[in-house]
Amino acid sequence: HSRTYTTTVLPADDPAIMPPKSEGEPLSESKTQILKSWIRQGAVWPEGVKLTPRAKEEPETEVAGAKSELRKRLMAKLGDLKGLGMENYTETIPGTSAEIEMVPIPGGSFMMGSPKDEKGRDPDEGPQHKVKVSPFWMAKFEITWQQYELFMYPEETPEVEGIKPYVGKLVDAVGRPTAPYVEMSFGMGKDGFPAISMTQYAARKFCEWLSAKTGHYYRLPTEAEWEYACRAGSSTAYWFGDDPEKLDEYAWYKGNSNFKYHKVGTKKPNPWGLYNMHGNVAEWCLDQYDPDYYEQFKGVVAQNPYNVPTSEYPRSVRGGSWEDEPADLRSAVRRGSKRAWKALDPQLPKSRWYHTSAQFLGFRIVRPLNIPSADELPKYWTRE
């Protein structure tokens, strides 16, 4: 909660000051001292007191200086957190009825990777090492076609209850996929099903587009965040234990999928309320995939590790899919992307947006509690 106090004592012209200038005058010194004392006493929220976030008009910004303007909007949204804490919330994409349910994941430490005696273990899952992760929200489900196609086909975004889709210059400035040259669900269905076959670049750009649309900062999870969220406090091969015979209750995989993906949320969630962390579709992470990446963390606690990409291949993928064996769905399993995932792409050069041969591949999004600086935003959104 100290971050909350810090934002109330920033210079008056700082865009991150709380409350925002649009909401009135800064807090008086006496009020900031009361807040400080409350935090020191443990920041206990009074029983029965609830806060209701207020909707507000957000002005359009010029494309020039868009990064700093977007960060200003993102910082202002921190004021929406009920009770100065983190709770479940639903993000509605402006101008549409499409919703993304977000689940709070508390910060903490865990052992990343798998022990040497875990059945099915691969060498890139070790050495096991301690990782500390900061708090974030994660999408309850994999991103679906209803959400992703708003990004793919913005000119076809429908009016909802007479409200025209919010676009604005920040949103206009985000690159979007070219039209696909095949039916992208490959006959497996779109209503309630996960979006598939996008490149990591396309998934990153979806996050940038969604951030510009909503004013909340979204991105892909790092490998560390993904595994931490999947495990939900567990240290076993799967979040529910070590027995793959129980997978039918929790995952779609080769043994029960009937050779196709399934609607999101149709198996049991993990203890943090996340569905399909094992199976259904494998999920993009932010990192460059490096089979030896864990070696550098021997004997140290890794703080929010992120292997920043420097080349197009391979990029990290987690979770296993509807076409994988049980051992490939374990929490620690890592996978790198391949050029062969574009084998069916007839274009020259190959599309930057589609991995048409990777019909097992999707993604989910996260929203970190701590927003990066404007200068850091591109490294999470724009790397091809």
CB contact at 8 A, 89 and 102 = yes
- pLDDT at res. 83: 39
- pLDDT at res. 16: 57
Each residue of 170-222: pLDDT tens digit? 565 577 788 888 899 999 999 999 999 999 999 999 999 999 899 899 999 99
- pLDDT at res. 223: 98
Each residue of 44-62: pLDDT tens digit? 666 655 655 554 444 444 4
- pLDDT at res. 343: 85
- Where does the pLDDT of residue 308 fall: very low under 50, low under 70, confident under 90, or very high at 90 and above? very high
Each residue of 98-135: pLDDT tens digit? 999 999 999 999 999 999 999 999 999 999 999 999 99
- Where does the pLDDT of residue 11 fall: very low under 50, low under 70, confident under 90, or very high at 90 and above? low
pLDDT at 18 over 80: no
> Is pTM, for the whole model, over 0.85?
no
Which position has the higher pLDDT, 161 or 113?
A: 113
